[in-house]
Structure 1
Amino acid sequence: MFPDLIDPRYLRGTIDDLIEQFVIHWATFLEESFYPILKALNFFESLLINCPWWLIIGLVAAAAYASSRKISLTIGLTVAMLGIGLLGLWEEGIRTLALMLVCTFVAIIIGIPMGILMSWSDRFRAIMLPILDIMQTMPSFVYLIPAIMLFGPGKIPAVLATVVYAVPPLIRLTDLGIRQVDKEIVEAVQSFGANRMQKLFWVQAPLALPNIMAGINQATMMALSMVVIASMIGAQGLGFQVLQGITRLEVGRGLMAGLAIVLLAMVFDRITQASGKRAQAHLHTNS
């Protein structure tokens, strides 16, 4: 038996006390800070649910064609969206879509600037890499506990957990993309007197766009993979249908909801991948 060098009960109690004090002093402030995100999510969800189904499918088809310029892919993704409706899960799919898009948008707002800062500073990068490793490897249920303590069951902890899970690959790939920009090109721009922001927006960001798009693709897929866990803390949608299938032992309900999640993932994976490929092809054409 391993010797008891540290009393785990004391360590657990210390962590619990710290979290409890944090909740007492900061819960109200954090809840008010996240309220605009909750309001935006509810508005966006209501807007999508009240939109005609054919309009949403038309927008998805337009996005598929604009990103790929392929009729076959556009038709395939249109059929996938129709499949969600034919399974009788259109409203649940739209709720999941709204949660995924809002979480991806928040991840983009956080992830791209963080990736840029990491590419600028080796010291900041050395600090962030272990944090990103922890965020990606820590089981989701662990950081759901303080989120639920702060906000209670509902959509805010679901958004928080999803963003924490989805943002690391976007940060990493943004940092990687900017660091991989040819140094000779950067030096040439500097020789013309460009400052750091001009260098970023004129050269580094356009050349790193394929990597950034790959990061957005990964963030989108990881946000969608969290829908079942998010349903356990109050988020509605396809994940809640899967959860009901598990708790009620209804295989058909869980299978159909799982299939709808796969169709939704396929749609946005193909759109974001096609956007990344077009950005890369455009980059090679210009070079």
Structure 2
Amino acid sequence: MEWFYKFPHMDDTVLRNLKKAIDESFREFTRAFGGTIENMFSPLKHFLIAADHFMTHTPWPIITAIILTIAWFASRSVKTVLGCLVTLLLIGYFDMWEDTMQTVAIIFVCTVMSIMIGIPIGILMARSDRVQKLINPILDVMQTMPSFVYLIPVVMLLGIGKVPGLLAVVIYAIPPMIRLTNLGIRLVDKDVLEAADAFGTSGWQKLFKVQLPLALPTIMAGINQTIMMALAMVVVAAMIGVQGLGQPVLKAIANQYFTLGIFNGLAIVGIAIIFDRVSQAYGKKLQKHREISHG
């Protein structure tokens, strides 16, 4: 009756040999192609360094003015702009400005990458049910996989540094971008598409002049969710060399510095609220514009 209480499993020796074979294969792949893969990501590294340099070396009043201007044009709300200003001033006052700007730089690069990769994949999913059925299970795995697991293959391939951390953040944060792009295009009114067909528009014209503009509010929601997930991953990615607010949080955990952890954690929350409010306000503005144009 032992099998009833203890789940039958593979023989320990066979299981150990299987794991060893997989690990050795991955190491061989890393040794053979690691350098080539690293060179492929060289432009991304330069982009990240440039964004980081801009955010950390530009005087704080200019950065603050840029962020407040973006917040105003996105929301047209004095309340949102004042909230952004107070948050940024508090971050600077408590000496977390440089770490925060490094975090903003990596979130910016991560968001740009997620948009560049996620929107085309979302479009492919929206145009083909077969592609959607193929990609959906992959996205399910990506969204349920523990965030620490993403670090293992990335570190084995590229080592420790900014680019591996960035890739781990992108892999973790991109699923909402893909899903909501697909959803937004699929939710476009069929009558509108029939009208576009009646005017003789080509497939590309219909995509860029009808479907994507009408799906933009939903795509903006995807960008919002991607940013939130990227911020959640920043602390984990700090383990493999990503600079920013995650590093002090890890230091606080290792040395039991309560206030250091809380202050930097609150700075992450503050940045998250800024990104969330601004992107949501812009999404609502797009939605309102869409409703007016249809009305």
Provide the TM-score with structure 2 as the length reference: 0.95
Does residue 279 (structure 1) correspond to residue 273 (structure 2)? The answer is no
* Contiguous gaps of at least 5 residues in structure 1: none
Does residue 163 (structure 1) correspond to residue 170 (structure 2)? The answer is yes
Larger Rg, first or second structure (1 or 2):
2
> 2:214, 2:290 within 8 Å by CA — same for their partners in 1?
yes
Cα distance in 1 for partners of 2:198, 2:250 equals: 59
Does residue 104 (structure 1) correspond to residue 111 (structure 2)? The answer is yes
Q: Which residue of 1 aligns with 2:185?
A: 178
Does residue 4 (structure 1) correspond to residue 14 (structure 2)? The answer is no
Q: Which runs of structure 1 show a deviation greater than 2 angstroms over 4 or more consecutive aligned residues?
A: 4-8
Does residue 213 (structure 1) correspond to residue 220 (structure 2)? The answer is yes
Q: Which residue of 1 aligns with 2:3?
A: none
Q: Which residue of 1 aligns with 2:55?
A: 48
Does residue 64 (structure 1) correspond to residue 68 (structure 2)? The answer is no
Q: Deviations for 1:93-112, whole angstroms, at most 9, x for unmatched residues?
A: 00111011101110110001
Matching residue's letter, 1:235: V
Alignment RMSD? 1.0
Does residue 129 (structure 1) correspond to residue 133 (structure 2)? The answer is no
* Contiguous gaps of at least 5 residues in structure 2: 1-5
Equivalent residues, number: 287
Cα distance in 1 for partners of 2:217, 2:229 equals: 18
Q: Which moved more, 1:154-163 or 1:7-16?
A: 7-16
Matching residue's letter, 1:198: Q
Percent of aligned pairs sharing the same letter: 48
Does residue 187 (structure 1) correspond to residue 197 (structure 2)? The answer is no
Matching residue's letter, 1:2: F
> 2:48, 2:106 within 8 Å by CA — same for their partners in 1?
yes
Matching residue's letter, 1:5: M
Q: Which residue of 1 aligns with 2:252?
A: 245
Does residue 25 (structure 1) correspond to residue 32 (structure 2)? The answer is yes
Q: Which residue of 1 aligns with 2:157?
A: 150
Matching residue's letter, 2:288: A
Provide the TM-score with structure 1 as the length reference: 0.98
> 2:74, 2:281 within 8 Å by CA — same for their partners in 1?
yes
Corresponding residue SS for 2:7 = coil
Cα distance in 1 for partners of 2:120, 2:25 equals: 30
Cα distance in 2 for partners of 1:142, 1:72 equals: 40
Cα distance in 2 for partners of 1:197, 1:14 equals: 47
> 1:170, 1:212 within 8 Å by CA — same for their partners in 2?
yes
Cα distance in 2 for partners of 1:15, 1:5 equals: 16
